[in-house]
Structure 1
Amino acid sequence: MDNIIKELTDKYYNEIVGLRRYFHKNPEISKKEFNTQKKIIEILSTLDLNIRKAAGTGVIAELNGKYPGKTIAIRADIDALAIDDDCGKPYQSQNKGACHACGHDGHTAMLIGTAKVLCNMKDKINGNIRFIFQPSEEEVADGSGADSIIKDGGLENVSAIIGSHLWQPVEFGTVGISEGPVMAASDEFSIFIKGKAGHASMPHQTIDSILTASQIVVALNTIVGRDVDPMKQAVVSVGVLKSGKVYNSIAGTAMLKGTIRSLDENVRKDVFDHIKKIVEDICDMVGAHCKIERNTCTYVLSNDPKVTSIVLEAGKEVLGENAHEIKPFMSSEDFSYYLKKVPGCFIFIGVGNIEKGIIYPQHHPKYDIDERALSYGVQIMSSAALKLLSKI
């Protein structure tokens, strides 16, 4: 079976690379993936699949095997980031302010390739394989695309789900497959401070919101080092601080936004409680008022042990010992929404290659991949799906 998958992947490889470059050249940001959706449907319509639009700009396509059985889902995210592309390649983005700097172009191409491979093997399949092309993974604060897919029936009758990420920190030629927590939960927090505005020359008549916000930023950086168990992991980062309009006035209001990352739900709660206490105490000390809001973006992404063992088996058949366990990352992924509903496994496909200059991390304008990784991504997902149908 694995030899057949390899032969079919080789057959479609150039097409898969071409599709990855097409999507890279024509990216669309979250919730606006209309042309991407159209292109996916256009290609999948040539295959023996049941296809429908889902979650607004997503696509769900289902392959029904020759024989009855369970349903396994494979997911790819399709949206781009709202940044300018600077990869300098012929396939650089033509859409200003949109860039596939996180590998979703490759994810989409790999899932199309996987669909082509498995459609060729329909007569050997017991059960169904559902291909989920999910929108809006990058902008989960405004509504997770995974959550929208679930609400649109994407996981109905699904016994297990798998997904993958082309990952620059992992070296080309290797793949990371581990059970348990592998990606962090992500929370967005917003802090609104109301002080007292006034003239910069008379600070004694004011309550300086910028100074207050600055004290809060410094204090928040003590949480991980002093309030979190050293044997556990967390990240607290402030990414936005907005206040003031003119140089010679003391601002009366300030706004901060940041993120919490954690691999443990208790740590997640404790960190936010510490943020709340620090903000309230500092504001109380200077006489300012505050409001704190928290928005849950993703959950801890925890791979199911049984599903992971099967996926790792498929990985080893493709890459040998170069398919191995991997340490968790503090990045987050809304694939975690699926894993709250059904068992599954999320894997990391290595695309980093120093010799080829592929050194830029996800979300960098120069991000690119070693496209040869697309081949073993398709092989592993195809093999894993078939193994899951017979073993889960």
Structure 2
Amino acid sequence: MLQVEHFRHLQAEVTDWRRHLHRNPELDFAVYETARFVTEKLASFGVNHIETRIAETGIVAIIQGQGGLGPTIGLRADMDALPIQESTGKPWSSQFDGKMHACGHDGHTAMLLGAAKYLASNRDFKGSVALIFQPAEEVELPSGGFKMVEDGFLDRFNIERVYGMHNWPGIAVGEFGLRAGSLMASQDDFDIVVRGKGGHAAAPHLTVDPVPTAAQIVLGLQTLVSRSTDPLDALVVSVTKQSASFAYNVIADQAEMAGTVRTLSPALRDFAERRIEEVARCIAMAHGAEIDFRYRRSVPVTFNDAEATKSAIQAARSVGRAVDDQIKPVMGSEDFAYMLKARPGALVFLGNGSSAPVHNPAYDFDDEAIPYGIGYWVNLVKSELGDERVLLTRQ
């Protein structure tokens, strides 16, 4: 295993790549220039096997080791930005209004490119490394991770394990966090339309007002967590959108609301889907109203395989200042979960220091984390595709 100092010579160049990507953010699946930049860099490293246009703009590039036959592992980075107006004031700030890399995907992409450059020049491993550059991590279903898995790239490239990395504000630069099992929550979304009877706001007795009915539904949903689930289990139900009439003197025919559900448990997903509809329908009935209900399952739980997590911990400890291998799960979601559902693997958090939180206009990726990220990827390849690991895998 190599120490972080072994990768510091790459930091300046990879920082330039990262800041170029930061200046030029692209959204969703339309990461055309980002994908072009990635493809050109990979080709310049001598990576010959590059497949593009997977799930529209996704890329998979294969680096074959020179140590003989062995498995193929996948290393994944996401490429898309967010529809946020940047406020950092940095020299490398976004050049496009309403778009910015507010989640560090520019750093993820640049670090995987840095690892690709190193691995292409140092192929002292058995088997192959699949470099996965994914679009549209930030979108709702179907996201980029979902569509890449549906495309069948894992089977096409015979990928046996997949690994991901996400920067994490609040963890010190040079430190890592991960755990076996559930690391990040599932994400489901729901829409409720409360149908009543509209009329004049001065004569509410002649209407079936959907607004107080909707308000009661919001309050009723709060007790799903506080009174209907084990306090030691993790469930979040948040109503995030509401609308009805747009006039002061009109009681609308209907009120609309929407929200999200996050949990670390598949059983609680089933519970939430069933009980949200039951609570909403019964409250509406009590007020003389009706509801239309839609529940959409999106991202599954991000679940780290136990054996793959051991390899990730070994790689992180070899290069990092510290590793928390029992980090608390978080209730945010990550569409890398689709790849982890299809193959064993692990997601690791890489410290981004005391930066603003992700999805914040003041957020910026900390370039001091770059050599740690590159070193993690390289040492993970050594851990997974070294002679001893490949021998154990094949027995």
TM-score (norm 1): 0.94
In structure 2, the residue matched to 1:283 is: 284
In structure 1, the residue matched to 2:384 is: 388
- On the 8 A contact 1:132/1:154 being kept in 2, the answer is no
SS of 1:86 mapped into structure 2: coil
Matches within 5 A, 1:316-327: 316-327=317-328
CA distance, structure 2, for counterparts of residue 386 and residue 215 of structure 1: 57
- On the 8 A contact 2:174/2:321 being kept in 1, the answer is no
SS of 2:71 mapped into structure 1: strand
- On the 8 A contact 1:235/1:261 being kept in 2, the answer is yes
CA distance, structure 2, for counterparts of residue 387 and residue 115 of structure 1: 16
In structure 2, the residue matched to 1:145 is: 144
SS of 1:340 mapped into structure 2: helix
In structure 2, the residue matched to 1:97 is: 98
Moved more, 275-284 or 203-212: 203-212
Give the partner amino acid of 2:11: Y
- On the 8 A contact 1:315/1:323 being kept in 2, the answer is no
Deviation at 1:322, TM superposition (A): 3.7
Matches within 5 A, 1:8-27: 9-27=7-25
> Aligned match of 1:37 in 29, 35, 43?
35
SS of 1:171 mapped into structure 2: coil
Decide whether aligned partners of structure 1 residues 140 and 385 sit closer, same or farther in structure 2, where only a CA change above 3 A counts.
farther
SS of 1:222 mapped into structure 2: helix
In structure 2, the residue matched to 1:134 is: 134
Matches within 5 A, 1:91-130: 91-122=92-123, 124-130=124-130
Deviation at 1:320, TM superposition (A): 4.8
CA distance, structure 1, for counterparts of residue 43 and residue 73 of structure 2: 20
1:310 aligns with 2:318: no
In structure 1, the residue matched to 2:205 is: 204
- On the 8 A contact 1:316/1:323 being kept in 2, the answer is no
CA distance, structure 1, for counterparts of residue 178 and residue 23 of structure 2: 30
Give the partner amino acid of 2:150: K
CA distance, structure 1, for counterparts of residue 211 and residue 17 of structure 2: 48
Q: Identity across aligned pairs (percent)? A: 37
In structure 2, the residue matched to 1:295 is: 296
Deviation at 1:386, TM superposition (A): 2.2
- On the 8 A contact 2:76/2:133 being kept in 1, the answer is yes
In structure 1, the residue matched to 2:271 is: 270
CA distance, structure 1, for counterparts of residue 246 and residue 177 of structure 2: 48
Deviations 1:309-330 (A, max 9, x none): 1110111111254453311000
Matches within 5 A, 1:240-255: 240-255=241-256
Matches within 5 A, 1:53-202: 53=52, 54-66=54-66, 67-122=68-123, 124-141=124-141, 143-156=142-155, 157-202=158-203
Q: Which runs of 5+ in 1 are unaligned?
A: none
Decide whether aligned partners of structure 1 residues 268 and 180 sit closer, same or farther in structure 2, where only a CA change above 3 A counts.
same
In structure 1, the residue matched to 2:370 is: 374
Q: Which runs of 5+ in 2 are unaligned?
A: none
Deviations 1:37-93 (A, max 9, x none): 111112111122211211101111111112221101000011111121111111111
1:335 aligns with 2:336: yes
Give the partner amino acid of 1:57: T
Give the partner amino acid of 2:103: C
Deviation at 1:296, TM superposition (A): 1.2
Deviation at 1:6, TM superposition (A): 4.6
Give the partner amino acid of 2:237: V
Give the partner amino acid of 1:147: F
CA distance, structure 2, for counterparts of residue 245 and residue 55 of structure 1: 40
- On the 8 A contact 2:125/2:381 being kept in 1, the answer is no
Deviations 1:156-194 (A, max 9, x none): 211111110001132223110211100001101111121
Give the partner amino acid of 1:352: G
Deviations 1:263-284 (A, max 9, x none): 0111111122221111001111
- On the 8 A contact 1:107/1:165 being kept in 2, the answer is yes
| Number of residue-to-residue matches in the alignment | 383
Give the partner amino acid of 2:105: H
SS of 2:292 mapped into structure 1: strand
CA distance, structure 2, for counterparts of residue 265 and residue 80 of structure 1: 29
> Aligned match of 1:363 in 359, 363, 367?
359
CA distance, structure 1, for counterparts of residue 381 and residue 82 of structure 2: 29
- On the 8 A contact 1:60/1:132 being kept in 2, the answer is yes
TM-score (norm 2): 0.94
- On the 8 A contact 1:48/1:63 being kept in 2, the answer is no
In structure 1, the residue matched to 2:229 is: 228
Give the partner amino acid of 1:52: E
- On the 8 A contact 1:352/1:369 being kept in 2, the answer is no
- Pairwise CA RMSD of aligned residues? 1.4
CA distance, structure 1, for counterparts of residue 196 and residue 20 of structure 2: 51
- On the 8 A contact 2:175/2:321 being kept in 1, the answer is no
Deviation at 1:226, TM superposition (A): 0.6
CA distance, structure 2, for counterparts of residue 302 and residue 342 of structure 1: 10
Deviation at 1:380, TM superposition (A): 0.7
SS of 1:10 mapped into structure 2: helix
Deviations 1:249-268 (A, max 9, x none): 01111211111000011111
Deviation at 1:369, TM superposition (A): 2.8
Decide whether aligned partners of structure 1 residues 275 and 323 sit closer, same or farther in structure 2, where only a CA change above 3 A counts.
closer
- On the 8 A contact 1:228/1:271 being kept in 2, the answer is no
